[in-house]
Chain A
C-alpha cells in the first residue's frame, strides 16, 4: 500500500506589500475570545509558524497597539511532530506546512484567519488540550506487550506485504485533525475518533501485538466505539499524513462485530 504522493498546486504569486492575519485569541480557558488583526510585511516563503514568530518579535497589532505574542503549540516545523494543528482559513491543518503564498491565493482577499481547533478545550490563543487522544491510546492498549527490554533475540519474521500495510498506519502524528473534522466526534457520542481506531488496527496486525487483539476489539465495541462512525469521510480527506483511515475503520468495524458475536456465544 504505497502512499500516493501529494500533488501540490503552485499558488499564484502574491503581489501586495503587506497581508492581514486575523487571529482568534483567548487569554485563559475561561476567558471570552476576541479577534486581533495584524498587518504583516510580506516575504515569499513564509509559513504560518514563521508568521507567528514574526509577531512575537514585533508584537504590534494592526491598530498600532502593543500586544502579546500568540500562544500556540509547535515543535518540529516539518509536519512530523503533530503539534501545530489549528484552523487556518477555517480549515483544520498544520501551521508549519501551511504556506502563506498558498493561503493568500486561496481566499483571494490577501487575508488569513487563524483560530484554535474547535473540539478541544482552549488553553490559550491557538493552543488547545488534546490529551484525550493519549488517554484513548491507553484504553485500546496500543502497544506490543513485550516480555522485557533485555536481549531475547529477533522478533518474528514479517513479510514485506504486512510491513507495507502497517507502516502507513504507523505514520499517524497524533495531530487530532481527524477528530476535529469528524461530525461524530462530540460529547453526545463520545466517539474515540479515527486515530485511535487506526492505532488499534496497527497493533492487531503485528504478529506479537495481536495477542491483545480481542481486548482491543472489546474496547472499541459499544458506546463511543467504532460503530459511532457515520462514514462522513472527512477524516481521510483532512489527514495531513494521508492515513487510510476509513479503510481502517471499516476493517475494525468488521472485526469488532465478529468479536461481539463470538463473545455472545461464549460469555
Chain B
C-alpha cells in the first residue's frame, strides 16, 4: 500500500464531510465525490435540531436515557452497541460543532439552549433556529474547505458514483464515476471508499427528500454483492406540506415549541379554523397520549393522522389534511426559534402560519434501512464503508427526531478512521485491480441506453413507480398490495428496456443521468416491497393491519437482502439483532 492511504468519500452531506475531516486530520488523502456542490447536499434540509444528553436543563438526563429512548423508539430492531456508542459521544459532538462556530440558540447565560423532541420526556435537542441541518452542514463544509485549501482534500463536485471497482478477489480498489457535464466515465483508484449518499425518498416519487436522494449508489453496491438491510423500514413523517413536486417538511420542532395537532370535532366544519372554539377542536394526539402528547414518535403520530383522515373521515374539508397549529404561540418566540420553517410554509402555501393553523399531512421522509455495515461501518464488500442515512444502523424500525444529524456525524467519525486503518493494512493490488473491466461494464450500460429506440419516457416510468410505492408501501401495508407493487416494478423494469432518450447528447445530459438512477431505484424498490411483504408483524414504521402486533420470537431480526443475478431479484435472509444491553419490552406511549 502507498505511504499515504488514499480514501474516496462519496457524498458530501454531514456523514461524508465528517469522514473527510477525520481522514484529513489523520494525514490521509481524500477524494470527495458529490453530485451537487457539497454545500447543497440534502443534510441542509434538516430543521429541528440534534440530540445529545448534555442535561443543561437540570432534568437529570443521561446518555443512558438517550440510549434507551433511541432503542425503544426504534422498537428494538437496531443493534444496540452502535447506538450505545453514538449516544455516549453525543455531548462531545455537540461541543465540537459549537467550537466550529455553529450559531446554536443560546440561553441568557450564553450556554447552549435545548428543546424537547419526539419520543423523549427530556429537553435534549440543541438547535439553530429551525435550520439546524443547514448550520451543521455549513460548519463541516467550512472545515473541509479549509482542508481543501491546504491540499489534503480534492473535491469532485458534479460527479456521480456509478459503482465500486472490485479486484479478482472481490476487494474494493476504487470507484467508477461519471462527470455530469462531459458525461465522461472514469475510474478512480482508492484503498478504501466510504459511501455517504443519504436516503432513497425519490423511489416514492414525492417525499420530503431532495432530488439527489435516489438510493442509486446503495442500489449499485447491492447489485455488486453488498447486503442491503431493513429495506422495508421507511419513515413517513407526520407533518409535511403537500405539494405538486415534493412534500415539504414541517419540522417536529413546531410541536417541540408547543405546536398542536387537531381537526374540527364536527366533520367538514365550514368555519375558518381560527373561529372554531377550543371545545369544538379534537386534539387527538393529546387526548390519547396524555404524557407525550403531540410529541409521540413519528410512526405513531403518522398512523393516528392517517386513521383520523381515512378511518374517521375527519380530514379538513374532507381532504387528507389536519391542522398543525402554532398560531397561539407568541410571535417573538416563533421568530427566534422556528422562523425558518414558518417562512417555507408562507412562501409555498401563501398563508401566514403565525395567524392561521397550517394544513399538513404525512410524507415519506427517512430511510431507516440501508447498506448493511458491521460495527466498524464496513459493508460486506472489503474496503467499502458506509455511513449516515445510507447505512442501516442506529434507528431500527423508527428514527427519533433529531437523532439523524447525530447518527450522520457519528457514522462518519467511525467510518473515516476505520477506513484509514483498513487501508494501511491492505495488500497491494495485482494487475489493474479491475479498473478497466469496470469501466467497460459501465460504458456498455450507457451505450445500450443511448442506442435504445423504444417508446418509454423515464420520467413517466418514475411517476408510476412513485405512485405504486406510495400506495402500497408506506403507512399501512397489506400483503396483496405489496405483491401487486412488486409485479408493477417488474413490469417497469421490463419497460425500462424500452426507454427512448430524446436527448442523446454528451454534454450535461441530466435526463440521461436520471435514467441511470432510475434503474437502480427500480432494483431497490423490489428490496423494499419484498422485505415488507415477508415481514408479517407490525414494528415501528412497518404496520400491517393483518398482523397488528410485534412478534419478537419470529421477527426480532435484521432483514438482509442480497442480489441474485440469476433471477435478477433479491434473496432475503435474517440476522440476529444485538440486544445485549437493553432487554426488549413492549413499546407503549399511551401511559409510560
B103 contacts A163, CB within 8 Å? yes
Contacts A75-B36, A152-B95; A138 near B145 (Cβ below 8 A)? yes
Contacts A10-B350, A47-B244; A160 near B105 (Cβ below 8 A)? yes
Tally A-B pairs: CB < 8 A. 214
Shortest beta-carbon distance from A13 to chain B in Å? 12
Query: Which B residues are in CB contact (< 8 Å) with A97?
Result: 347-348
Query: Which A residues are in CB contact (< 8 Å) with B22?
Result: 149
Query: Which B residues are in CB contact (< 8 Å) with A63?
Result: none
Q: Which of B96, B101, B108, B340: most chain A Cβ within 10 A?
A: B101
Q: How far does the alpha carbon of A68 sit from the alpha carbon of B335 in the complex, in Å?
A: 44
B249 — nearest CB in chain A belongs to which residue?
A78
A57 contacts B460, CB within 8 Å? yes
Which residues of B, 206-253, contact A by the 8 Å Cβ criterion?
210-212, 243-246, 248-249
Q: How far does the alpha carbon of A209 sit from the alpha carbon of B212 in the complex, in Å?
A: 32
Q: How far does the alpha carbon of A58 sit from the alpha carbon of B460 in the complex, in Å?
A: 8
Q: How far does the alpha carbon of A142 sit from the alpha carbon of B513 in the complex, in Å?
A: 33
B243 contacts A208, CB within 8 Å? no
B508 contacts A127, CB within 8 Å? yes
Q: How far does the alpha carbon of A157 sit from the alpha carbon of B113 in the complex, in Å?
A: 12
B146 contacts A143, CB within 8 Å? yes
B210 contacts A151, CB within 8 Å? no
Residue B186 CB within 8 A of the other chain: no
A68 contacts B128, CB within 8 Å? no
Contacts A97-B348, A158-B106; A75 near B211 (Cβ below 8 A)? yes
Shortest beta-carbon distance from B423 to chain A in Å? 19
Q: How far does the alpha carbon of A203 sit from the alpha carbon of B40 in the complex, in Å?
A: 20
Q: How far does the alpha carbon of A201 sit from the alpha carbon of B112 in the complex, in Å?
A: 22
Name the one of A45, A143, A170 contacting B143, with C-beta atoms under 8 angstroms. A143
Query: Which B residues are in CB contact (< 8 Å) with A155?
Result: 95, 98-99, 101
Q: How far does the alpha carbon of A163 sit from the alpha carbon of B583 in the complex, in Å?
A: 43
Of B131-139, B429-437, B567-575, B584-592, the stretch lying at the interface with chain A is B131-139
Shortest beta-carbon distance from A50 to chain B in Å? 4
B142 contacts A142, CB within 8 Å? yes
Q: Which of B44, B45, B342, B510: most chain A Cβ within 10 A?
A: B510
Q: How far does the alpha carbon of A127 sit from the alpha carbon of B96 in the complex, in Å?
A: 36
A68 — nearest CB in chain B belongs to which residue?
B503
Q: Which of B99, B210, B246, B352: most chain A Cβ within 10 A?
A: B99
Query: Which A residues are in CB contact (< 8 Å) with B212?
Result: 75
B138 contacts A69, CB within 8 Å? no
B37 contacts A144, CB within 8 Å? no
B44 contacts A81, CB within 8 Å? yes
Residue A213 CB within 8 A of the other chain: no
Name the one of A69, A77, A163 contacting B210, with C-beta atoms under 8 angstroms. A77
Residue A27 CB within 8 A of the other chain: yes
A68 contacts B511, CB within 8 Å? yes
Residue A71 CB within 8 A of the other chain: yes
Query: Which A residues are in CB contact (< 8 Å) with B510?
Result: 69, 71-72
- Tell me the interface secondary structure of chain A in the complex: loop
Residue B199 CB within 8 A of the other chain: no
Residue A49 CB within 8 A of the other chain: yes
Residue B421 CB within 8 A of the other chain: no
Residue A2 CB within 8 A of the other chain: yes
Name the one of A5, A72, A131 contacting B335, with C-beta atoms under 8 angstroms. A5
Residue B317 CB within 8 A of the other chain: no
B503 contacts A46, CB within 8 Å? no
Which residues of A, 74-90, contact B by the 8 Å Cβ criterion?
74-83
A75 contacts B505, CB within 8 Å? no
Chain B: interface residue total (CB-CB under 8 A): 80
Residue B181 CB within 8 A of the other chain: yes
Shortest beta-carbon distance from B274 to chain A in Å? 17
Residue B507 CB within 8 A of the other chain: yes
Q: How far does the alpha carbon of A146 sit from the alpha carbon of B131 in the complex, in Å?
A: 23
B346 contacts A8, CB within 8 Å? yes
Q: How far does the alpha carbon of A82 sit from the alpha carbon of B115 in the complex, in Å?
A: 28
Residue A196 CB within 8 A of the other chain: no
Query: Which A residues are in CB contact (< 8 Å) with B413?
Result: 149
Query: Which B residues are in CB contact (< 8 Å) with A2?
Result: 332, 335-336, 339
B339 contacts A143, CB within 8 Å? no
A78 contacts B211, CB within 8 Å? no
A147 — nearest CB in chain B belongs to which residue?
B99
A137 contacts B145, CB within 8 Å? yes
Contacts A5-B339, A69-B503, A208-B99; A143 near B142 (Cβ below 8 A)? yes
Which residues of B, 82-109, contact A by the 8 Å Cβ criterion?
92, 95-96, 98-101, 103-109
Q: Which of B42, B105, B139, B348: most chain A Cβ within 10 A?
A: B348
Q: How far does the alpha carbon of A74 sit from the alpha carbon of B45 in the complex, in Å?
A: 13
B181 contacts A78, CB within 8 Å? no
B110 contacts A159, CB within 8 Å? yes
Residue A171 CB within 8 A of the other chain: yes
Residue A206 CB within 8 A of the other chain: yes
Residue B29 CB within 8 A of the other chain: no
Q: How far does the alpha carbon of A151 sit from the alpha carbon of B101 in the complex, in Å?
A: 15
A3 contacts B335, CB within 8 Å? yes
B248 contacts A78, CB within 8 Å? yes
B36 contacts A81, CB within 8 Å? yes
A158 contacts B110, CB within 8 Å? yes
Residue B457 CB within 8 A of the other chain: yes
Query: Which A residues are in CB contact (< 8 Å) with B41?
Result: 75, 81
Contacts A57-B460, A158-B110, A163-B103; A71 near B508 (Cβ below 8 A)? yes
Residue A254 CB within 8 A of the other chain: no
Query: Which B residues are in CB contact (< 8 Å) with A138?
Result: 145, 148-149
Residue B184 CB within 8 A of the other chain: no
Q: How far does the alpha carbon of A142 sit from the alpha carbon of B249 in the complex, in Å?
A: 29
B46 — nearest CB in chain A belongs to which residue?
A80
B505 contacts A68, CB within 8 Å? yes
Q: How far does the alpha carbon of A236 sit from the alpha carbon of B340 in the complex, in Å?
A: 18
Q: How far does the alpha carbon of A111 sit from the alpha carbon of B450 in the complex, in Å?
A: 34
Query: Which A residues are in CB contact (< 8 Å) with B110?
Result: 157-160
Q: How far does the alpha carbon of A157 sit from the alpha carbon of B243 in the complex, in Å?
A: 41
Shortest beta-carbon distance from B34 to chain A in Å? 11
Name the one of B112, B249, B347, B502 contacting A59, with C-beta atoms under 8 angstroms. B502
- What 0/1 pattern do residues 110 to 154 of B give for CB contact below 8 A with A? 111000000000000000110100110011001101101100000
B336 contacts A78, CB within 8 Å? no
Which residues of A, 224-267, contact B by the 8 Å Cβ criterion?
none
A144 contacts B460, CB within 8 Å? no
B459 contacts A53, CB within 8 Å? yes
Query: Which A residues are in CB contact (< 8 Å) with B502?
Result: 59, 66-69
B347 contacts A79, CB within 8 Å? yes
A209 — nearest CB in chain B belongs to which residue?
B101
Q: How far does the alpha carbon of A167 sit from the alpha carbon of B102 in the complex, in Å?
A: 9
B505 contacts A77, CB within 8 Å? no
Which residues of B, 16-48, contact A by the 8 Å Cβ criterion?
21-22, 25, 36-37, 39-42, 44-45
Name the one of B99, B181, B246, B459 contacting A77, with C-beta atoms under 8 angstroms. B246
A5 contacts B343, CB within 8 Å? yes
Query: Which A residues are in CB contact (< 8 Å) with B129?
Result: 167
Residue A153 CB within 8 A of the other chain: yes
Shortest beta-carbon distance from A143 to chain B in Å? 4
Residue A154 CB within 8 A of the other chain: yes
Residue B344 CB within 8 A of the other chain: yes
A3 contacts B106, CB within 8 Å? no
Can you pick out 16 interface pairs between chain A and chain B where the beta carbons lie within 8 Å of each other?
A47-B244, A59-B457, A76-B211, A81-B36, A81-B42, A83-B40, A134-B39, A141-B149, A144-B100, A151-B92, A151-B95, A159-B106, A163-B105, A167-B129, A171-B131, A173-B44
Knowing that A79-B344, A83-B36 touch, tell me 13 more A-B residue pairs with CB under 8 angstroms.
Answer: A45-B243, A50-B244, A59-B502, A75-B41, A76-B40, A78-B246, A80-B340, A143-B100, A145-B146, A146-B96, A151-B96, A157-B109, A163-B105
Q: Which 5 A-B pairs have the closest CB atoms?
A: A157-B110, A143-B142, A68-B503, A50-B245, A57-B459
